[in-house]
Structure 1
Amino acid sequence: MYYSDEVIEEVRSKNDIVDVISTYVRLQKKGSSYFGLCPFHNEKSPSFSVSRPKQMYYCFGCGAGGNVFTFLMEYENYSFVEALKYLADRAGVDLPEQEYSKEAKERADTKAILLEINKLAAQYYYVQLKNEQGAHALAYLKNRELSDDTIRAFGLGYSNKYSNDLYQYLRSKGYQSEMLLKAGLVSMDERQGVYDKFWNRVMFPIMDANSRVIGFGGRVMGDGKPKYLNSPETIIFDKSRNLYGLNRARSTKKPYFLLCEGYMDVISLHQAGFTNAVASLGTALTAGHASLIKRYVQEVYLTYDSDEAGTKAALRAVPILKDVGITARIIRMEPYKDPDEFIKNLGAEAFEERIGKARNGFMFSLEVLEKDYDLHTPEGKTDFMREAARRLTEFDEEIERKNYIEAVAAAYHVGNEDLQKLVARMAIQAGQASPARRPKPVKHQPKGKEDGIVKSQKILLTWLIEDVSIFRQIEPYITPSDFSGDLYRTVAELLYEQYEAGDVNPAKIMNHFTDEEEHREVASLFHTKIRELTTVKEQEKALKETVLRVKNHSIEVATRNLEPTDMKGLQRLMEVKSKMQDIQKLHISVN
């Protein structure tokens, strides 16, 4: 839903950033700012700064920064709207009512009821585990070496042997049979009528990222089939877009997730201190899972079972993760089957060592591929290298492909240049490339230069935010139109408007952006790392060079886009170029 700038600013201004962040991070005042240990990376010395005057935070260690909305989006992984609603509720601000169509309202009401039902069911199962009828289920969990704290943290429970136990309980709470069917907690047929879907099972509540119960997994007690049973998909439960344990793992300070196959693996790892473990929900890893993971981390360690099925599952997962930009590594459990067994037998320290020895996903796939070839014969090794070369063609980025070619060449003792030629030949055969031709000289902007311009613009915006005297010196020479890209130009326009109005407030500028990616990018503009400059003279020289670079690039872009017949445009361009001489002579004073 769209919320006006006035509403967003009211919510932001009524939630002091120091007060909000203090509920998550222990802060101590030093001068005009507050400092604490950064919640976004591991550190021993506080480098996380929160400014009450600016209503912004910034970590000098990892570069995380933004306003109160950004903090909740990063820490809680809220969307912008979720962060807005949370802070509005906290400050007692009434947000405008969202207008629903009849169908949308019915769907929203149904979702709310199903969440209530699942929450009640989870509480009911937990109570049953602690009662006499759940003694054998509790003994099972204790035999799996789970502590009371772990059982409580994951809300583990038990579904009784009686086939309509939960149904009768929920009906007594006023919920209709139709809704219980939609929740996937009961089934119905002509012979038995309505009966519980889960009975005589240890219950694992499945929660979404915000710790709302959306479904269940149940492990049968005894020899019943199936051994594990999951809730059917409902309007609140999509197996391909949720991960078990994500509600706890999302707040980890680790830069990676441990991806498991089963619920018990996740629970055992969390109990052992590996709070970044998650698992897919009784299904193979999907593109939806990968996209969800990408919201939190850029790297995944696969801890799948060490048997053939687990190996195949890991090999299927690697390209799915790669497609969304996640690096995958493989942890092998030998001589044990899974992380649960490994931890119980060798402990957390040994598992940490296995993490350190994890194999690169692509190199692991080649190790598995070796089993299909006799590498002791010339024919076998040649055929193997051809298949390896074919797989190397699947890397789109040239530098990444070259790095992997180098790694494969070293691992299998073949010449680097020979393997490069083989990869090129395989690409041609597969129609992925054309035979090499002598390149024609072309004029283009080197990527490095473009990256340098972006960095210069970010540095300049950071400087302009920091010091009004710098802004006044630069304002006659740099305008918002000199910033390339809609995002940077819009930020510059808003900043110039604020200076004109005499109310510079970077936290307010961020209200203009509600898309999560844009919000994070804008946050970085106000906290760009500027290399250490020890003297005022060095700072003034660097600032002048940055101004020249930004203006020069603006002129180059305008020149490239100028129509030959646009005489007025040419005249304007000549006037702008003449200003370059003034900038060359300009002395920018840094206080």
Structure 2
Amino acid sequence: MYYPDELVEEVRMKNDIVDVISGYVKIQRKGSNYFGLCPFHNEKSPSFSVSQIKQMYYCFGCGAGGNVFTFLMEYENYSFEEAIQFLAQRAGVSLPETNYSEQARKNESKRAKLLEVNKEAAKYFYYQLRSERGQAGCRYLRERALSDETIKKFGLGFAHVTSDDLTRYLKSKGYEDKLMIEAGLASFDEKYGVHDKFWNRVMFPIQDGNHRVIGFGGRVMGDGKPKYLNSPETMIFDKSRNLYGLNFARTARTNHIILCEGYMDVIAMHQAGFTQAVASLGTSFTAGQANLLRRYAQEIILAYDSDTAGVSAALRAIGILKETGLTGKILNLQPYKDPDEFIKNLGQDAFRERIEQAENSFFFELRMLERDYDLKDPESKTKFHREIARRLCSFSEEVERENYIEAVAEKYHIGFDNLRKLVVSYAAQTGMAAMAVRPKSGIQKKTDAEENKKKPQKLLLTWLAEEPDLYPKIKKYISAKDFTVDLYQKVAEKFFEDLENGTFNPAAIISMFTDEEQQREAAALFNTKLMELSAQTEKEKAFHDILVAVKRESLNYFTEQASADVLMLNQMIEGKKALEELSKTHISLN
């Protein structure tokens, strides 16, 4: 749904960012800004800043930043449209009705009905567990040592032993057979007609990120088969793109998420205080689920069963996490099979220690691989080392590969140079990317040329945001075209236009972007750390140096493009003159 810029700005202006964020984060005023602990990463010292003047937030620790829309997109996992709708309702702003096509309207209506009937079913199961007929379910949950609070939190319920309880109840509420079947709550066959999908089972409602019931899992009482039964996929329930417990884990605000195999493992961990736990939904872990996790954490700790099947599942999940750009670690649950057993026997503190000691996924893979080789036999040991070298070739980034070669060499008592030569040799034999051979010793200076080019542009925009009165003094020398990054240039164009008109509204500039990452990057342009200088002459020199650096990089850029474009040639000539003049000019900050 597209909303006009004027309406977006009206919604933003009627929702003060300090008021909104203080409903989620404890912030205190310090000087002109408010500070608190960042809700997007784990920290002990407040680095999360909220500016009422700029109507922006920024974390100097993790780089999260933006306006009030961005905050809700990051914290609540809302889309840009959902954030606007939420804040419009909060401020009492009327939004235009969505102009759906006929098919889209039908789909939206169907989704709403499926969510509604699932919610009604969840309520029914919930009350059944607390009735006389739910005693078997209650007994099972008590045996699993779940508290009343935990049972309530996860909305656990019970499906009675007869096979038509739910369907009769839903029919009494006016729901049609067709809808119950489409929701996966009922089945149909010639012998029994329409009947319940779940019966004689403890029920686990599966919720999406916004706590809406989208499906169910059911654990049979006794020895019936299958032990666990899940809802089939529907319009609202895609097993490969949802995770059990994520509706709670996404607000845990730890620097990692724990991924396990079963619903009971998730519930047991949450009850023990580890609210960052989630589980896949009766299927193998998928790339879709990995992408979903990437929104909330960079590090995923696998707490799979310690048996053979669990190890195989962990090895498969490691590969998926790597492909998605996530860091995987493995939780050692020995001598117990799963997290639930571990916590019951050794307690929360021991489990917390195991989390802190979680094993690097690459070393876990090597440890599992090691079991296939006899390291007392020289030939077998050599084969193992060759396999290590092959796997080390998978690290495309040189620094990362070098670090792993060093760590592996130390762990397995292999000479660093010998292992490195083996890696290079294997890469050459298999046609993999050539690897430069550098000596291990010696200090290598780490520089990021691209970042060095961009930093003066960030500093200039931040300085002007702090002191907008400086703009008239520099507009003769600097224009939006001098910003060589596309997003920076778009921000500068709007910012300079506002400054020309005597307005100052960086939060509105962020609303030009609907993508969360672009909003974060735009926010960073107004929150780059400036050097603290007390002497006026030092400040003026620093500001002048930033201007010259921006203009020089702009000139370099246009010079590179000039041979192929006459307009670029003109820009280069003008830029050169402006740079020469700027270099000789003193700009007062008074």
SS at 1:152 equivalent: helix
- Give the corresponding residue for 1:510: 510
Q: Provide the rounded CA distance (Å) in 1 between the counterparts of 2:306 and 2:435.
A: 42
Give how far 1:509 is off.
Answer: 0.8
Letter in 2 for 1:237: F
What whole-Å deviation, never above 9, does each CA across 1:164-213 have from its counterpart, x for those lacking one? 11111111111111011000010010001111111111111111111111
Q: Provide the rounded CA distance (Å) in 2 between the counterparts of 1:151 and 1:330.
A: 28
Could you tell me whether the CA contact under 8 Å between 1:66 and 1:507 is conserved in 2? yes
What aligned pairs does 1:258-273 form with structure 2 within 5 A after superposition?
Answer: 258-273=258-273
Could you tell me whether the CA contact under 8 Å between 2:409 and 2:416 is conserved in 1? yes
Could you tell me whether the CA contact under 8 Å between 1:470 and 1:588 is conserved in 2? no
Could you tell me whether the CA contact under 8 Å between 2:72 and 2:83 is conserved in 1? yes
- Give the corresponding residue for 1:442: none
SS at 2:285 equivalent: coil
SS at 2:300 equivalent: strand
Distance 1:564 1:503, change over 3 A: closer
- Give the corresponding residue for 2:421: 421
What whole-Å deviation, never above 9, does each CA across 1:391-429 have from its counterpart, x for those lacking one? 111112122112111111111111222212211222233
Could you tell me whether the CA contact under 8 Å between 2:562 and 2:572 is conserved in 1? no
SS at 2:218 equivalent: strand
- Give the corresponding residue for 1:574: 573
Distance 1:53 1:569, change over 3 A: closer
- Give the corresponding residue for 2:441: none
Give how far 1:587 is off.
Answer: 3.0
Letter in 1 for 2:254: K
SS at 1:372 equivalent: coil
SS at 1:384 equivalent: helix
Q: Which moved more, 1:75-84 or 1:42-51?
A: 42-51
Q: Provide the rounded CA distance (Å) in 2 between the counterparts of 1:199 and 1:536.
A: 78
Could you tell me whether the CA contact under 8 Å between 2:58 and 2:524 is conserved in 1? no
- 1:399 and 2:433 are equivalent in the alignment: no
Give how far 1:145 is off.
Answer: 1.1
Could you tell me whether the CA contact under 8 Å between 2:561 and 2:568 is conserved in 1? no
- Give the corresponding residue for 1:470: 470
Q: Provide the rounded CA distance (Å) in 1 between the counterparts of 2:418 and 2:218.
A: 54
- 1:388 and 2:388 are equivalent in the alignment: yes
Q: Provide the rounded CA distance (Å) in 2 between the counterparts of 1:531 and 1:569.
A: 34
Q: Provide the rounded CA distance (Å) in 1 between the counterparts of 2:589 and 2:65.
A: 24
What whole-Å deviation, never above 9, does each CA across 1:441-469 have from its counterpart, x for those lacking one? xxxxx972211112222222111111123
Letter in 1 for 2:56: M
What aligned pairs does 1:211-290 form with structure 2 within 5 A after superposition?
Answer: 211-290=211-290
- Give the corresponding residue for 2:185: 185
Could you tell me whether the CA contact under 8 Å between 2:463 and 2:530 is conserved in 1? no
Give how far 1:485 is off.
Answer: 2.2
What aligned pairs does 1:148-547 form with structure 2 within 5 A after superposition?
Answer: 148-433=148-433, 448-547=448-547
SS at 2:191 equivalent: coil
Could you tell me whether the CA contact under 8 Å between 2:427 and 2:435 is conserved in 1? no
How many residue pairs get matched? 583
Could you tell me whether the CA contact under 8 Å between 1:245 and 1:278 is conserved in 2? yes
- Give the corresponding residue for 2:586: 587
Q: Which structure 2 segments of 5+ residues have no match? A: 438-445
Distance 1:54 1:239, change over 3 A: same
Q: Provide the rounded CA distance (Å) in 2 between the counterparts of 1:362 and 1:517.
A: 29
Q: Provide the rounded CA distance (Å) in 2 between the counterparts of 1:512 and 1:426.
A: 49
Give how far 1:130 is off.
Answer: 0.8
What whole-Å deviation, never above 9, does each CA across 1:263-290 have from its counterpart, x for those lacking one? 1111111111111111111111111011
Letter in 2 for 1:346: L
TM-score normalised by L of structure 1: 0.95
> Considering only aligned residues, what root-mean-square deviation do their CA atoms show, in Å?
2.0
Q: Provide the rounded CA distance (Å) in 1 between the counterparts of 2:293 and 2:119.
A: 25
Distance 1:534 1:331, change over 3 A: farther
Q: Which moved more, 1:328-337 or 1:473-482?
A: 473-482
Q: Provide the rounded CA distance (Å) in 1 between the counterparts of 2:155 and 2:222.
A: 22
Could you tell me whether the CA contact under 8 Å between 2:299 and 2:327 is conserved in 1? yes
SS at 1:512 equivalent: coil
Give how far 1:348 is off.
Answer: 0.8
Give how far 1:30 is off.
Answer: 4.6
- Give the corresponding residue for 1:49: 49
Letter in 1 for 2:585: L
Could you tell me whether the CA contact under 8 Å between 2:63 and 2:520 is conserved in 1? no
- Give the corresponding residue for 2:5: 5
Q: Provide the rounded CA distance (Å) in 2 between the counterparts of 1:287 and 1:213.
A: 23
What aligned pairs does 1:10-21 form with structure 2 within 5 A after superposition?
Answer: 10-21=10-21
SS at 1:539 equivalent: helix
Q: Provide the rounded CA distance (Å) in 2 between the counterparts of 1:428 and 1:533.
A: 53
Give how far 1:483 is off.
Answer: 0.6
- Give the corresponding residue for 2:442: none
Give how far 1:489 is off.
Answer: 0.4
Could you tell me whether the CA contact under 8 Å between 1:158 and 1:201 is conserved in 2? yes
Q: Provide the rounded CA distance (Å) in 1 between the counterparts of 2:435 and 2:55.
A: 57
Identity of aligned residues (%): 60
- Give the corresponding residue for 1:124: 124
Q: Provide the rounded CA distance (Å) in 2 between the counterparts of 1:77 and 1:557.
A: 38
Could you tell me whether the CA contact under 8 Å between 2:155 and 2:204 is conserved in 1? yes
Letter in 2 for 1:292: L
Q: Which moved more, 1:29-38 or 1:497-506?
A: 29-38
- Give the corresponding residue for 1:102: 102
SS at 2:187 equivalent: strand
Letter in 2 for 1:470: L
Q: Provide the rounded CA distance (Å) in 2 between the counterparts of 1:287 and 1:531.
A: 43
What whole-Å deviation, never above 9, does each CA across 1:469-502 have from its counterpart, x for those lacking one? 3222222211101111221100000001101111
- Give the corresponding residue for 1:443: none
Q: Which moved more, 1:138-147 or 1:206-215?
A: 138-147
Give how far 1:50 is off.
Answer: 2.7
Distance 1:112 1:435, change over 3 A: closer
TM-score normalised by L of structure 2: 0.95
Distance 1:526 1:349, change over 3 A: same
Q: Provide the rounded CA distance (Å) in 2 between the counterparts of 1:198 and 1:516.
A: 40
Q: Which moved more, 1:53-62 or 1:72-81?
A: 53-62
Could you tell me whether the CA contact under 8 Å between 1:63 and 1:527 is conserved in 2? no
What whole-Å deviation, never above 9, does each CA across 1:22-78 have from its counterpart, x for those lacking one? 221234445544444432334455443333332222344444332111111121121
